[in-house]
Amino acid sequence: MKSDPVGDALRYLKFRLRSAREIQEYLTRRQYDQSEIAETMKKLVEQGLINDERFAAIYISDGLNVHYKGPFRLKMELLELGVAEETIEEAMNREIKECDLKEIIKRAIGNARAEDAEKLRRKLFRRGFPIGSIDEVLREIL
């Protein structure tokens, strides 16, 4: 016997914020009818529990300031999570204005003072930082 789709969605949201698509896919995997899913999504949006704009802003802020991921990588991850590109761009622009990308790159480098600047450049590029900002920071510290 299936339980309540709202209850299942709330349990899924308990661990971290989710995008609307993540919740829809979760409820689909739990084999709820599309009408039940649509009704549940409507309730969660009305209650403010699903908000892709807020989700993207928090995801980007954490990604930059806690996990030291670059904007390109964060954008790709959010696209995979089903957030609209326009929503991502708006949230990214707001967050980039509030933070210093060069400082985040310096924190991502940490104590690693590699003799091989190219290796460090590749690491930062894989993390999603723009190559121009990487080069500026590397010129400053090396």
Provide the residue-wise pLDDT of the chain in tens; the chain has 142 residues.
467 999 999 999 999 999 999 999 999 999 999 999 999 999 999 999 999 999 999 999 999 999 999 999 999 999 999 999 999 999 999 999 999 999 999 999 887 766 678 889 999 999 999 999 999 999 988 7
Task: With residue 100 as reference, give the H or E element that holds it.
Answer: none
- Taking only Cα atoms into account, the Rg of the chain, rounded to an integer number of angstroms, comes to 19
Other CB atoms within 10 Å distance of the CB of residue 128 = 19
| Residue 19 in tokens | 């995008």
Yes or no: say if 121 and 134 are a contact pair by the CB < 8 Å rule: yes
